[in-house]
Structure 1
């Protein structure tokens, strides 16, 4: 189904911001899917994170497409996709923002459907759906959880709901008040959209698959989930960074649930007899937010887990859940 946007809205510029690194063999397919969009008033800002392949040669093929702008990440900025996104946003001019990746594909009505919904319902952001594909074959659709009462920051922060980076279109006014954390390599979308929802919960789901997400072995997510240890250490580190970013902006219930999640990942690492410096940071938060008694039981649970893979009852005792209830 093709949406017809009112004529007076056709001057709205949409900025598509794409970080890229060594995706010369894939980015042309991404750009072709953008050029094929039914909505024509867009700019695509590609920020190259100092690729060492022939990405620049691929982009030269699009030199006659003035809507596509190719930029290099300034060397004074931290390397990584998030620095590229922040830099690309500063160079953008659009009324609305779409964050996209250089190895994924848009359906032809991706922009039009999002923009039509956002304008018609007067919301600050919209969320569509993504379907994975691998080796040219579409995989089973990702299952999205949609709450009857709407989109709430608490649900997203505590991972009760989730979506992908490329699912969202948001207004420039909202995007100007948040940024991508440049130290994160993965789960950065969770951090970014947690911050977005703490600014506004005025959003809407679109029950349409508008993005095809490419699964391949060189993706960052594939590397981080390669082993159970790598995954557990990575997600614990992320939870700490995320708490540092937003911990003082959420209520006490969410704050404590975030700490409980870090305690769970710490316990999991101890059960695998893996050490992590990040566990020290978790202990500090347990002491600060839950108290000395909780820290005592938490330490004891980690010791027993390391020695015998047991001690879960002590972990639960450390959480003191009977003293916690949603506000």
Structure 2
């Protein structure tokens, strides 16, 4: 039955010609052969496009395109690929990550076992040079609300860890184009608030290996103003949606954790307009009281005047704000896979 399940692997590509061969080989080595690999190049200036065309010439299941509309970015490329793909299901894979040989077979079997699920979550491992060199899980399942976990920065999965019904993914609005950061966070929170039906299969073996690299597009310039602006926008949209659903109070503590992390990030980046917007949102949705937001406004003022140079003055105030919503319960990239890694 699983042999009939066609999976479209969706990949955005930008200047990764030096590393994509390993990703390609992991796809060509799959034990489940009913797949297509749809790659959209984002205007690469290296030899990426030539390599992609070589893959397509080698195997007609590989479809390669160049981004033909704005905005530039991975999410636009992913959405174009989803629009062009023909699979029943879609999964997302970046150009530096690697599939276990049984990945598509395992995911196809899971899809057949849970036909009502809009998406299914699978375990993943992190790696540096070889897929089994760290044995660190992306994250683990817990007896805790998954939405709460995402808000606190303890997400059970990211984009590569899911298998979506293609039509369900289209129905929820696909990736939000234009975001510079938190694309996965936004997608999964929006999905859970939709709501969709999903299944967690964390009982299975890790089937994707996520590369830890300093030049990851999400790591480079993490505290830059454009990326902080995206985080502020995602948080604003989340609060607005939760207000409309009347569930802000239910998730207030988790919203405090996420919101405070964003506020401190805007101050680190010097994005003071974003800091002020974030505090105004706190006041609107009432997740912090007046005394707490007053303390935050003072910290913003001190930051604007560059008084962070005076550590004895600045640091105690920073710490008092940081202590308003402490959270140290994340298991993100903290737990080892205890069994032999199956490649």
- Per the normalisation by structure 1, the TM-score is 0.81
- In the other structure, the counterpart of 1:173 is 167
Greater relative contact order, per chain length (Cα 8 Å cut-off, separation 6+): 2
Structure 1 residues 170, 258: closer, same or farther in 2, change over 3 A? Answer: same
Query: What are the equivalent positions in structure 2 for 1:259-270 lying under 5 Å apart?
Result: 259=256, 261-267=258-264, 270=267
Structure 1 residues 266, 32: closer, same or farther in 2, change over 3 A? Answer: same
- Matched-pair contact (CA < 8 Å) for 1:152–1:201: no
> 1:143 Cα shift?
5.2
**Candidates 48, 56, 66, aligned match of 2:60:** 66
Query: What are the equivalent positions in structure 2 for 1:148-163 lying under 5 Å apart?
Result: 148=143, 152-163=146-157
Query: What are the equivalent positions in structure 2 for 1:212-231 lying under 5 Å apart?
Result: 212-225=209-222, 230=223
> 1:212 Cα shift?
1.6
Give SS of 1:213's match: strand
- Matched-pair contact (CA < 8 Å) for 1:23–1:103: yes
- Matched-pair contact (CA < 8 Å) for 2:122–2:201: yes
Query: What are the equivalent positions in structure 2 for 1:6-25 lying under 5 Å apart?
Result: 6=1, 9-25=2-18
- Matched-pair contact (CA < 8 Å) for 1:21–1:48: yes
> 1:136 Cα shift?
3.4
Residue 197 of structure 1 pairs with residue 173 of structure 2: no
- In the other structure, the counterpart of 2:177 is 182
Structure 1: how far apart are the matches of 2:111 and 2:155? 20
- Matched-pair contact (CA < 8 Å) for 1:82–1:180: yes
**Candidates 306, 310, 321, aligned match of 2:316:** 310
Aligned length in residues: 304
Structure 1: how far apart are the matches of 2:127 and 2:72? 28
Residue 103 of structure 1 pairs with residue 96 of structure 2: yes
**Candidates 137, 143, 146, aligned match of 2:141:** 146
Structure 1: how far apart are the matches of 2:191 and 2:209? 23
CA displacement 1:36-80 (0-9 Å, x = unmatched)? 111111111000001111112212322131110000001x31111
Q: Which runs of 5+ in 2 are unaligned?
A: 326-343
Structure 1 residues 129, 90: closer, same or farther in 2, change over 3 A? Answer: same
Structure 1: how far apart are the matches of 2:151 and 2:274? 20
- Matched-pair contact (CA < 8 Å) for 2:180–2:226: no
CA RMSD between the two structures: 2.9
Of stretches 251-260 and 102-111 in structure 1, the one that deviates more from structure 2 is: 251-260
Q: Which runs of 5+ in 1 are unaligned?
A: 1-5, 320-327
Instruction: Return structure 1 stretches of 4+ with deviation > 6 angstroms.
Output: 316-319
Residue 278 of structure 1 pairs with residue 278 of structure 2: no
> 1:247 Cα shift?
2.4
Structure 2: how far apart are the matches of 1:273 and 1:58? 37
- Matched-pair contact (CA < 8 Å) for 2:26–2:100: yes
> 1:83 Cα shift?
0.6
- Matched-pair contact (CA < 8 Å) for 1:295–1:318: no
